[in-house]
Amino acid sequence: MNESRRQFLTAGSVTCSAAWLAAGVRGARSFAGEPASPKGSRADIELTLRAAPGRVSVNGKPTQVWRFEGHLDAGPSDALTASEGYLGPIIRARPGQRIVVRFQNHLDEPSIVHWHGLDVSAENDGHPRLAVPGGGTYAYDFRIANRPGTYWYHPHAHQRTGAQVHAGLAGLLIVEDDQAKGNLPSGANDLPFVLQDRQIDSNGQFIYNPNAMTGFLGDLILVNGKPTPTFNVKAGTYRLRLLNGSNARIYKLGWSDGSAMVVIGSDGGLLEAPVRKPYVMLAPGERVEIWADFGKAPVGPDVWLESRSFAGGTGGMMGMMGMSGGMGRGMGRGMGMGMGMAGTSGGPPNGSRFRVCRFVVTGTGERLPLPRTLSRLQFRSDREVVNLGSPRRFDVTMAMMRWTLNGRTFGMDDLAPNERIRKGTTEDWEFSNLVGMMAMPHPIHIHGGQFQIVDRAVAPGAGPAVDSVREGRVEEGWKDTFLLMPGERVRVRVRFEHHAGLFLYHCHNLEHEDMGMMRNFRVEV
């Protein structure tokens, strides 16, 4: 294993001890989400995924975390790969494969796993109504219906998603095939990066005391669980898979030497062709894939990936907030975590400039030519849209100091009249963000598959916020999460053709989600 790969992977943490696998868990709850497979057939990949307390070294001292631990029960040996630090193992699958996951909750509170970006049935999607208590289990059974791309998994428990993700529960799920391997970097040159921020106390422990309006913003940037690391790479071509796994922090990513960011993929896989951008915006939940030629001008032998400044990151209303504590105290149970109204997280606000990680060239590797074309995308045309010109409208508003969608907050089974959609129909949905002192960015995530961005419009008086991020949007491909800046109106085109049932749409600022900025929609036959 070469040095750069070793920095990402550790061999010992994939296989869990036989003791907990054999012991089972009490209060078992099981569900198989897909129709019964033909007699005698079995899944292509079977694994056990356990959420449990653990201890790792994050910043030089032992840190108490919650983490996903995995065991490969059946399937190819590369289907489960260890990640460094507290992050869960990387799951690798191929289109069409059937996957069975036996989730075991060894926490002292309810939890469930959401497969972010995957087109799976409602019973496999990780809705909080399906959360199992501590000691419970849940059985997932689904086929990969997505294009090859970078996806991820994380908890989705009611009012506890932010705390559980912050504690360490997150991992990558990569769908891949052989089609692009001859044209794109692979193996040791295909590198995943999970970007997160944390605050750590003098004893090495995570501090989770988020601001109820802006969410949790830490003062320490972690890449794959390590603080602002340096990665040794060879002079050559790399595929960098970047996930924003932060609770609330938005990144404006660029190279420190001013080189263009060459983008080859987004949430739903490869773009049709590479695009060059001066920087790339990455909101919580979003992914982007970058083509990097290290050691070749203009990218030099020593370069930083940095996050640049942008406007409109926090909203003017925070200057009026004089309260600390109060709201959301009950959301901190289990790990001593609370939620305050004032800026108690201690991290710089969204829109601040900072360095993320460093790349240093040591040696020579393989260099590939940048392909002119990457894949073929078949977007949905205006002709198939049943509500063309009259999209479903969803407004971001605030009421009683809580962010809402169309004036409503989350109810476990709630459905409004405009939250029912016919299976197999193509619709346009339009999301609008308010302008004013209460405005701030919101990353919007829609469960149930991928969609396309159709249009963006800016309201008068939106100010410099939109202009400061405009050139870094990656919307040339399929998406499942998008950034909605103050004063913007975004129209997306959706089609739910495989599964009926209850799904979610919500803000992926996890503290906003936990406070109720989330709603159900039902796909009906």
CATH topology of domain 3-175: Immunoglobulin-like (2.60.40)
What percent of the chain clears pLDDT 90, i.e. is strictly above it?
77
State yes or no: pLDDT of 29 exceeds 60: no
Provide the pLDDT for residue 422.
Answer: 98
2.60.210.10, 3.10.310.10, 2.60.40.420, 1.10.10.1100: CATH of 382-524: 2.60.40.420
Domains 3-175 and 187-364 share a fold: yes
297: confidence class by pLDDT, cuts 50, 70, 90: low
Q: Per-residue pLDDT for 26 more than 60?
A: no
pLDDT band at 31 (very low <50, low <70, confident <90, very high): very low
Q: How confident is the model at residue 7 (pLDDT cuts 50, 70, 90)?
A: very low
Hey, what amino acid is at 509?
A: N
- Confidence at residue 511, expressed as pLDDT on a 0 to 100 scale: 97
Report whether CATH 2.60.40.420 matches the domain 187-364.
Answer: yes
User: Where does the pLDDT of residue 360 fall: very low under 50, low under 70, confident under 90, or very high at 90 and above?
Assistant: very high
DSSP-based three-state secondary structure for 127: coil
Taking CA 244 as the corner, what is the angle to CA 347 and CA 444, rounded to the nearest 5 degrees?
100
Q: Is 0.95 surpassed by the pTM of this model?
A: no
So what's the pLDDT on residue 10?
A: 32
| Residue pair 43/75 in contact by the 8 Å Cβ criterion | yes
- Cα gap 365→93, rounded to integer Å: 27
How does the average pLDDT of the chain come out, rounded?
87
Q: In degrees to the nearest 10, what's the CA dihedral of 403, 405, 411, 417?
A: 160
Q: How large is the average pLDDT for residues 300-312? A: 90
User: Using one digit for the tens of pLDDT, what is the confidence trace for 50-105?
Assistant: 999 999 999 999 999 999 999 999 999 999 999 878 999 999 999 999 999 999 99
pLDDT at residue 290 greater than cutoff 50: yes
CA distance 49 to 55: 17
pLDDT in tens, 425-451: 999 999 999 877 778 999 999 999 999
Domain ranges of the chain: 3-175, 187-364, 382-524
Mean pLDDT of 398-418: 93
Which of 41-45, 205-209, 383-387, 432-436 has the least mean pLDDT? Answer: 432-436
C-alpha span between 331 and 501 (Å, rounded): 28
Backbone angles phi, psi at 35, to 5 degrees: -55, 155
**Helix (H), strand (E) at residue 116:** strand 113-116
Please tell me the predicted confidence (pLDDT) of residue 300.
61
DSSP count for the chain of H helices, then E strands: 4, 30
